[in-house]
Amino acid sequence: MVANEKLYFFCKDGNTLVLKADGSQTVVAENNLTVEGTLYGVALVDHCIVARSGRELICIHQKTKHKN
C-alpha cells in the first residue's frame, strides 16, 4: 500500500514494515499489529488504515492535537 510517500507492507501475522517511497528502500518504521488470528486485508479509508482479521476490524490513524 502507498500513502504519504511511504510504502506499507503488512504480513499475515501482523508485522508491518514502512519504507520511503523514493526508491531508497529506507526503513521508516517496523511495527507489530497485534491481531487475533491471521491478518486478511488492509485498505485506506478516510485517512485511516483499516485492517481485517478473522474476528476483528481495526482502524489505525494518526493522533491529532485538539484545539481548546
Per-residue model confidence as pLDDT tens digits over 2-61: 888 999 999 988 899 999 999 899 999 999 988 888 889 999 998 899 999 888 999 988
Bridge partners for 7 per DSSP: 2, 19
**Is residue 65, in this structure, part of any structural domain at all?**
no
How many Cβ atoms sit within 10 Å of the Cβ of residue 65? Answer: 5
**Is residue 55, in this structure, part of any structural domain at all?**
yes
Position 68 scores a pLDDT of 58
State the total domains in the chain.
1
**Is residue 67, in this structure, part of any structural domain at all?**
no
CB burial string 15-54: b at 16+ within 10 A, e below:
ebebbeeeeeeeeeeeeebebeeebeebeeeeeebebebe
The residue segments making up the domain with residue 45 are 2-60
What's the pTM value of the predicted model, to 2 decimals?
0.73
**Is residue 47, in this structure, part of any structural domain at all?**
yes
**The domain that contains 21 carries what CATH number?**
2.40.10
Angle at 20 between CA 17 and CA 23, to 5 degrees: 115
